[in-house]
Structure 1
Amino acid sequence: MRIRTLCLAGAVAGLVGGLAAAVYGASNDGPAVRQTGIVVTTVEDQQAASAASGGVGFTVVGDQQEAPAADDPAYASAESGPFVEESTAGCGACGVTGSCGGLACRRSHKCGGRCGGCVYCPGEPLPLFYSSTLDAMGIRFGGWVDHGVSVVANMPADRYNGVVTFNDRDAEYQMNQLWTYLEKEIDPNRFFDIGGRVDFVYGTDARFTQAIDGLEANWDQEERFYQVALPQFYLDASLADWTFRIGHFLSPLGYEGVPAVGNFFYSHAYTHQYGEPFTHTGFLLMCDFGRLSFSAGMHRGNDQFDDTDGLNALGYLGTVGWTNAADDISVNFGISATEDGPGVETVIYTLVSIFDLTDRFTWVIQHDYGSTATYGRGRARWYGLNQYLLYEINCCLAMGARIEWFRDEDGTRVRGLGDGNRAVGPFIGDFYEITFGLNWRPHSNIIVRPEIRWDWFDQDGPGEVQPFDAGDSKDQFLFGCDMIVLF
């Protein structure tokens, strides 16, 4: 107990200290540049990051220079110079004496202000496997390993973190994702092109992403936690601004995604785990008109691959997205409507709005609503509201907060997942969670994501089983940290 308490206290102190130091460094003469890959600030970027290797790495070039004095003509020149993106030029391009040698300049003033604010900034991750033949064909192979540890203060007897996922085990190392993919992207400069993608994942997250009907459900997987999944395999065909996709693919609904590289936090929101589908099998027609985009298609059902019971009908899947002329506000709406058997109709929609309040500060607000109507038995509903506050300290470090409310009105969605999880439910009431975390990139291929999270449950009426501490507690304090290694 003492070791666990010291671990939690040290984690909180370290995270708070890191946040304080980051804020202090950003508000003084320390480096303050816009990071280019830690925070995904549009739903399109989020989906692209979820579908691709996700994230940007680092390129370390040159040495850090001393800042010119305030009365130096170079400093005055920087004040009035034009803005130059951090990764495209050194400070010499802004009219500042001397160059950062390709390093990023501070952007507290126009064109980075003082050249002395140079820091090591992102480049592309170094590929572990490279083939000139595949590269000439536009085919890319890559992936990542995501692994981490979570500790909760309650010391649950079943070693589960209640209803929190994907990092669902207490004080136990988890290799969440060994994710590999083979991809040929559509070339936007070609009038007609063919592409596609295949993804394979092994680890403790695979059991959350498997199809509930067919595909992995037919495989003999005897391991309790470490399993495999095929979250994507599809073909794309493009004609001008139109793209047709057919196969098994990740859901375009919501803000968070299944791939670790597309998310700011290690743990997942209730809206993502319990309110939205992860995958679809069917087809999708997509079109991008610049500021306006949309998609529409049909699928076999949420998280379904096959219809082995012969009871499901084709469902509808669609999205609409809009971005303003300044490219700092985007709104995206997505909906899935399915029939999961005779007289069982499920409708889920998500609405995600993203506001770039400053060059570094992003606010994301998401609303989800879902319902399942069963003939003769009424309708079950779930809905929620979650917000993300993301601040880019520099190109290596970002901090963020997630604040969420999720209501399971009829106790049909939230439950303890996993063999032996005692938080069995049903849980009728309101779930709340607040998460604070950092994204730190010490190397081009490494992302470290520490976080602290507090969950609590407001139940409608009495209940014998609670969602945390092996069914005995209504709240939970969690510290988690993972590391993603890209290849």
Structure 2
Amino acid sequence: MAAGLVTTSVVGAEPTVPSRVDTSIYDSFAQAEGEPPVTLMPRAGVPDEDVYQYRAAAPQEAAIEEGATRYLETDFLLNRGIETYGFVDIGIGANAWGADWNGPITFNDRAWQGQMNQLYLINERILKEDQLSWGGRVDLLYGTDFLYTVAGGLDSDWNTGRYYGLAMPQLYGEVGSQELNVKFGHFYTLIGYEVVPAIGNFFYTHAYTMQYGEPFTHTGVLGTWVPNDQLTIIGGVTNGWDNWDIGLPTPANPGPGQTSNAAFLGAITFSSSDGTQALTLANSSGNEANGGQIGGNDLIGNRTVTSIVYTNEFTDKLTYVYQSDFGYAAYAFDPAQ
């Protein structure tokens, strides 16, 4: 049971393109439609799963109730510390206005059409707890949710299907231990509470804040330090929102640093001694093309989003979550208007 999912957002300047979702997606749907736009539980010998595996960082661990069989794992991989597992997420949604598309709702975006949102496969090697080791992870997502989880220059280039496609939201390596490590590659964001993998969320649907006001993924380097059970500190550099290797366009407002998309990504989590409460502050800040244009060229400016997430696990079956986001986007307007 989940209660009290409260989400608020404050935006300093409302961008024409408010998030990682390409608005051309909606245009293509509108033209075509004629309308406006089981938590995986561990078995013996396998480390516990928690929401940390689905975010780059997480405020709390998932509740563990019983084991589940992992049919994809083999002794050959397990003996080398490699785990392979996955899940399937299927659902159906509808609307009251008679359109085939549920927009602006995303993920469950088809009306009265059963969707296989996620056929999700994970292959990972987890770092050892207290000694130097190496690890890594690859996530593959096939389904209708691919549309909202692709990154510029990566999986956005190999998908041609209208409804179903393949995304690779995580591809990273790690060096260090559980207490101190460095992650490099492509990984999920630290921002917010909701996550892409369906088993990391209570609800089938998502808040608009998650859909339109937060990044899904980043590419870069993150360092993590866990000095004790009550404190986790993460910080690093990425190349912006939902981006693999695409640089910024030629700016309409050239200046020092305007062509750099290097961005800060970091978070700090304070946890209670019994592990039932956590407070996470996360921030992403860097240059983006936020929607404003002059003469057909994009205005480049800072985009910053900060999220505050508080969780309280009252019992094994009742968790309270509060989230508040603050966002700022420079030049998120058309100067001609």
TM-score range, shorter chain: 0.7 to 0.9
Select the residue among 48, 51, 57 that pairs with 2:53. 48
Take 2:275 and 2:67, find their aligned partners in 1: how far apart are those partners?
24
Letter in 2 for 1:338: G
**Large movers: runs of 4+ above 3 Å:** 35-38, 49-52, 54-57, 308-312, 357-360, 375-378
- The 1:238–1:226 alpha-carbon spacing in structure 2 relative to 1, beyond 3 Å, is same
Take 2:210 and 2:74, find their aligned partners in 1: how far apart are those partners?
36
- The 1:155–1:183 alpha-carbon spacing in structure 2 relative to 1, beyond 3 Å, is same
Take 2:52 and 2:175, find their aligned partners in 1: how far apart are those partners?
18
Instruction: Tell me which residue corresponds to 2:78.
Output: 135
- The 1:129–1:56 alpha-carbon spacing in structure 2 relative to 1, beyond 3 Å, is farther
Measure how far apart 1:252 and its partner are. 1.5
Query: Does the 8 Å CA contact 1:214/1:308 hold for their aligned counterparts?
Result: no
| CA deviation profile, 1:391-430 (whole Å, cap 9, x unmatched) | xxxxxxxxxxxxxxxxxxxxxxxxxxxxxxxxxxxxxxxx
Measure how far apart 1:241 and its partner are. 1.9
Instruction: Tell me which residue corresponds to 1:334.
Output: 282
| CA deviation profile, 1:367-391 (whole Å, cap 9, x unmatched) | 011111129968xxxxxxxxxxxxx
Measure how far apart 1:45 and its partner are. 4.0
Query: Does the 8 Å CA contact 1:284/1:296 hold for their aligned counterparts?
Result: yes
Instruction: Tell me which residue corresponds to 1:322.
Output: 270
CA RMSD in angstroms comes to: 2.9
Instruction: Tell me which residue corresponds to 1:259.
Output: 197
Letter in 2 for 1:249: F
Q: Which SS does the other structure have where 1:152 is aligned? A: coil
Instruction: Tell me which residue corresponds to 2:68.
Output: 125
Q: Considering Cα pairs closer than 8 Å and 6+ residues apart, tell me whether 1 or 2 has the greater RCO.
A: 2
Select between 238-247 and 307-316 the one with higher mean Cα deviation: 307-316
Which residues of 2 match residues 143-292 of structure 1 at below 5 A? 143-156=86-99, 159-189=100-130, 191-211=131-151, 213-219=152-158, 221-239=159-177, 241-289=179-227, 290-292=229-231
Measure how far apart 1:309 and its partner are. 4.6
Measure how far apart 1:37 and its partner are. 7.6
Q: Which has the larger radius of gyration?
A: 1
**TM-score normalised by structure 1 residue count:** 0.52
Take 1:261 and 1:352, find their aligned partners in 2: how far apart are those partners?
19
Letter in 1 for 2:282: G
Which residues of 2 match residues 282-361 of structure 1 at below 5 A? 282-289=220-227, 290-309=229-248, 311-340=259-288, 343-358=300-315, 360-361=317-318
| CA deviation profile, 1:261-306 (whole Å, cap 9, x unmatched) | 1000111111111111000000000011220111000000111111
Letter in 2 for 1:304: N
Take 1:358 and 1:141, find their aligned partners in 2: how far apart are those partners?
30
Query: Does the 8 Å CA contact 2:89/2:117 hold for their aligned counterparts?
Result: yes
Take 2:111 and 2:300, find their aligned partners in 1: how far apart are those partners?
40
Select between 129-138 and 259-268 the one with higher mean Cα deviation: 129-138
Letter in 2 for 1:47: Y
How many equivalent pairs are there? 271
Take 1:319 and 1:246, find their aligned partners in 2: how far apart are those partners?
16
Q: Gaps spanning 5+ residues in structure 1: where?
A: 1-17, 20-34, 39-43, 58-121, 379-487
Query: Does the 8 Å CA contact 2:304/2:327 hold for their aligned counterparts?
Result: yes
Query: Does the 8 Å CA contact 1:186/1:194 hold for their aligned counterparts?
Result: yes
Q: Which SS does the other structure have where 1:273 is aligned? A: helix
Instruction: Tell me which residue corresponds to 1:10.
Output: none
Query: Does the 8 Å CA contact 2:248/2:288 hold for their aligned counterparts?
Result: no
Measure how far apart 1:234 and its partner are. 0.2
